[in-house]
Structure 1
Amino acid sequence: MADIPFSCSCGDIRGTLHSATPQGGNHVRCYCSACRAAALYTTGIDPENRGVELFQTTPDKISFQQGHSKLSVFSFTPRKLLRFRASCCGVQMFTMLPTPKFALAGIMTDCLEDCSAIGPVASEAFIPQDDGSTKHSSALKIYGGTIWRALVARVTGRWKQTPFFDIATGKPIAPVYVPSAEERATLPF
């Protein structure tokens, strides 16, 4: 198990991914249009057919040493996936569901200092097919592992150990910004 430092691109936000192992999470590459749109929205760079890499774990494995208050939150629709980004430099850092009760945190691997402890990409989601459909590789690892980790966090109470939500209210630590229709119109949905 390794503790891996992470930071935003300018270094104002710094923290640690604790006890990282390939078995303790899922190193995934996602090709969905929402992940692609989020990358383009936050960085101005379209990942196109390369996908977006993240490590799925639980929020209790993430701590901040500085800049926690510089996290902002956006979502393309009010009840969908929340995306936490650095308000200082704009880079997307985390993804999670809009409730702390389902303990899921995806950290963008570009933010990690070293990815060797999480192993290579173990699964892929929404892989584009020639006929326009999508498929997943290692779907059991993607969904089964995520549900299992969330269930264990729920039963043990670890779901309450989150730096992303105010547990008393169940709301994210910052207001959720929903990009306007004009902003979304430029994105690949």
Structure 2
Amino acid sequence: MTDVPFSCSCGEIKGTLHHVTPRNGNHVRCYCAACRAAVLYTTGEDVGTNGVDLYQTTPDRISFQQGRSNLGVFSFSPKKLLRFRAMCCGVQMFTMLPTPKFALAGVMTNLLEDKTAIGPVAMEAFVPQPDGSTKHSSTLRLYGGTMWRALVARISGRWKQTSFFDITTGKPVAEVYLLPKEERANLPL
């Protein structure tokens, strides 16, 4: 198992992704409109049909050495994923469910110092099909691995070891900015 440093684009936020292996997480490429919109919103760059690479693990595997107070949170609606971004340089860093009780953290792989520990992309989500529908590859591994890691974190109490939520209130460490309709109108949602 390897510890992998990460940082935001400007280096103000720095941390470590702990115990990284392909078994401790899923290296996923997601093609959904929300992931594409989040990157466009935070960086101004449209990934188009390339997808967004994430390493899905549990929040207890993420620690910060500096700048955690510079994290901001946004979402496209009250019940959608929370997207943590660096307020210093704006880049999206993490995705989480809106509750800490289901331990899931998606780490943007472009922020990792060394991606070799997470292995190659092992699954793809929301892959566009010629008929306009979408499908997932390695569905059992994608959902099964995520559910299993979240269950183990819940039973063991590791879900409480998070830098992203106040466990007593269940609220994120920063106020969630809900993008208003006019901002969402310019995004591929």
Structures share fold, TM-score greater than 0.5: yes
Q: Which residue of 1 aligns with 2:123?
A: 123
What is the TM-score with the length of structure 2 in the denominator?
0.99
Q: Which residue of 2 aligns with 1:164?
A: 164
**Aligned with 1:48: secondary structure?**
coil
Q: Which residue of 2 aligns with 1:184?
A: 184
* Partners of 1:145 and 1:104 in 2: CA distance: 11
**Aligned with 2:136: secondary structure?**
strand
Q: Which residue of 1 aligns with 2:146?
A: 146
**Aligned with 1:37: secondary structure?**
helix
* Partners of 1:33 and 1:6 in 2: CA distance: 25
* Partners of 2:65 and 2:141 in 1: CA distance: 31
What is the TM-score with the length of structure 1 in the denominator?
0.99
1:1-189 equivalences under 5 Å are 1-189=1-189
**Aligned with 1:137: secondary structure?**
coil
* Partners of 1:141 and 1:115 in 2: CA distance: 20
- CA offsets per residue over residues 27-81 of structure 1, 9 Å max, x none? 0000000000001000000001000000000000000000000000000001110
Q: CA deviation at 1:12?
A: 0.1
Q: CA deviation at 1:141?
A: 1.1
* Partners of 1:111 and 1:137 in 2: CA distance: 24
Q: Size of the alignment, in residue pairs?
A: 189
Q: Which runs of 4+ in 1 moved over 3 A?
A: none
Q: Give 5+ residue unaligned stretches, structure 1.
A: none
Q: Aligned residues: percent identity?
A: 75
- CA offsets per residue over residues 136-178 of structure 1, 9 Å max, x none? 0001111100000000000000000000000000000000001
